[in-house]
Structure 1
Amino acid sequence: MTNGTRSDFQEMFHKGQLTIGISELSRMTGVSPRQLRYWQKKGYIIPKNQDEPGRARIYNMRMVIKAAAMSNLLQTGYTLKAAAAQVDERMQPAQTMYHVLFDRYQGFEVADNGEILVDLGPFDPDPTQELYAKLVDNQAKFELKSKE
C-alpha cells in the first residue's frame, strides 16, 4: 500500500505558494499597473505582501483570478464596485470547497488493487472512525474505518 501525506498536498496547493508580480498581472489581465494599484487602494485586490511597504507587489492565484474576472466584467459594462462584488459572490463556493478539502485532507492510500482512498480524518459524529473517500465509476463514495 502506498501512502501520501498531508504535507504533500499542502506543498502542491498551499495558499499563496504560486505568486506573480504586478507587471505579470497587468499583462495577464490587460489592466494597467496604475489601475491595479487603484483597485488595491479601494480594497478590491490585496497583494500577498501588503504588510511590507516599499516592496514590489506580489499576488497569489486567488487575486489573479479575481483581477482577471473583474477585468472581464468591466468590459461587459459592470462598474468596478459591482464587478468586485459579483466576483466575490462567484468565488465563494470555490473558496468553501477549497477550505473543506484543504482542512480535512489527511493523506491518501493506494490499496493493493490500485484503489485510491482519500483520508478525510476523523468522522465528526464518531471520532473513533476515520472518513475516507474514493471514486467508484467516477462517483465519489465514502466509507468509515475504525482508527487503528
Structure 2
Amino acid sequence: MADGVKSDFRDMFHKGQLTIGISELSRMTGVSPRQLRYWQKKGYIIPKNEDEPGRARIYTMRMVLKAAAMSNLLQTGYTLKAAAAQVDERMKPAQTMYHVLFDRYQGYEVTDAGEILVDLGPFDPDPTQELYAQLVAEKPRFVLKGRV
C-alpha cells in the first residue's frame, strides 16, 4: 500500500482533522452556542484550538460526540456535572479502542481475491511476524505473516 494513503487515513482520524465550528455543533446537538461556551469555560468540552484565543472555536468529532451525549443526558434529568462525568466514563472504552487501533495501524493490503488485510504491525511475541486483521463473514480474523 502506498504511504500516502496510509498517512492520509491516519492524519484524518488520529490528529483530529475532522472538525466543525461552534455553529455546526450547536445545530447538531440542539445546544446553544452560549451554552457550549459555558460548557467550555467549565472544562467539559474543549475546542481543538483552545490555545488560540480570538479564533473561532473548532471541535473534533470526539467533542461532538461528547456534547451530543451530554445534551441527551441533560434532557433525561442529569445535572451538567453528572452528565459530563457519565459521558467521560462511557467514552473510556472507545478511547482505548481508538488508541489500540490507530497506534497499531500500519496500512492495508488487498489480496488477489480482493480481500482487505489491515496491517497491525509487528506481532509483539514474535517481531519477525506481521499481524493482520481481516473480516471473514463479517467477523474479525487475525493472520500472521512473515515480515518482508
What TM-score results when the alignment is normalised by the length of structure 2? 0.92
- 8 Å CA contact 1:4–1:108 kept in 2: the answer is no
Structure 2 CA distance for partners of 1:4 and 1:108, relative to 1, 3 Å:
farther
Counterpart check, 1:61 vs 2:55: no
1:15 Cα deviation after fit? 3.2
> Superposition RMSD on alpha carbons, in Å?
1.4
Unaligned runs of 5+ in 1: none
Counterpart check, 1:92 vs 2:78: no
1:119 Cα deviation after fit? 0.7
Give me the whole-angstrom Cα distance separating, in 2, the residues matched to 1:40 and 1:16.
18
Relative contact order higher in (CA < 8 Å, ≥ 6 apart): 1
Percent of paired sites with the same residue: 84
Paired residue secondary structure (1:97)? helix
- 8 Å CA contact 2:12–2:18 kept in 1: the answer is no
1:91 Cα deviation after fit? 1.1
Give, as a single letter, the amino acid of the residue that structure 2 aligns with 1:15: K
Counterpart check, 1:138 vs 2:131: no
- 8 Å CA contact 1:123–1:131 kept in 2: the answer is yes
- 8 Å CA contact 1:4–1:109 kept in 2: the answer is no
4+ runs of 1 displaced by more than 3 Å?
A: none
Unaligned runs of 5+ in 2: none
Counterpart check, 1:101 vs 2:107: no
- 8 Å CA contact 2:119–2:133 kept in 1: the answer is yes
**Partner residue of 2:17?**
17
**Partner residue of 2:45?**
45
Paired residue secondary structure (1:23)? helix
1:14 Cα deviation after fit? 3.5
1:109 Cα deviation after fit? 0.9
What TM-score results when the alignment is normalised by the length of structure 1? 0.92
1:13 Cα deviation after fit? 2.5
